[in-house]
Amino acid sequence: MSAEDPNPAATPTPCEDTQGDGRWISLHNRFVSDSKDKEPDVLFVGDSLIQLMHQFGIWRQLFSPLHALNFGVGGDATQHVLWRLSNGELDNISPKVVVLWVGTNNHGQTAEQICEGIMAIIQVIKNKLPNARTLVLGILPRGKSPNALRERNAKVNKLVQEAVLSLPHASFLNVDPDHCYS
């Protein structure tokens, strides 16, 4: 592979409707529409881990009061989030903080590629929302026992954590329950 090959994790890509019910684009369209109507102070964006947050009581207790919007889509990888944010979901809103949680679905890609994807998202947010801070959540471990995906996710976190150190508009937060309580 040459250094010139584009990184799929950092190339804005919509999700193909392979199943036939258009749900991904329906969700994207709803988020674009929400961007026109709502005025969030905090925007949550990412994959199912963000999306599912919205379904539990904790959202109403902790995040609704912050005037938060939830743009999570289950199954999304970095390239999908990149596409969504580049195609309307950041238009017309000016949140103070964007919480970004994505990367665990980037299958077949290296930790370096995934990190680059996350950094590309941070850049798009910076371009569209010059006054917003991006808070990147560390990707959680997965699987019952140690496995290659855990190693990959941990490596992504390490790379991202280092990369945002030099960025005044972004920071990293490790939300692994084991880490928090140690």
Distances (CA, A) of 172 to 85, 109, 115, 136, 140: 19, 21, 12, 5, 13
Q: CB of residue 151 vs another protein: minimum separation in angstroms? A: 10
How far apart CA 49 and CA 101 sit, in angstroms, is 7
| Category of 158 on φ-ψ map: left (φ > 0), alpha (ψ -120 to 50) or beta | alpha
Q: Which residues bind another protein (CB under 8 A)?
A: 18-23, 26-27, 30, 51, 54-56, 73-74, 107, 142-145, 147-150
Q: CB of residue 152 vs another protein: minimum separation in angstroms? A: 8
Q: CB of residue 163 vs another protein: minimum separation in angstroms? A: 24
Residue 143, C-beta contacts closer than 8 angstroms, at least 6 positions apart: 149, 150
Residue 46: helix, strand or coil by DSSP? Answer: strand
Q: CB of residue 76 vs another protein: minimum separation in angstroms? A: 11
Distances (CA, A) of 45 to 6, 96, 123, 182: 24, 14, 14, 27
Q: CB of residue 149 vs another protein: minimum separation in angstroms? A: 4
Nearer to another protein, 51 or 113 (CB): 51
How far apart CA 149 and CA 11 sit, in angstroms, is 22
Nearer to another protein, 145 or 182 (CB): 145
Nearer to another protein, 53 or 120 (CB): 53
Nearer to another protein, 2 or 55 (CB): 55
Biggest alpha carbon distance in the chain?
49
Nearer to another protein, 25 or 66 (CB): 25
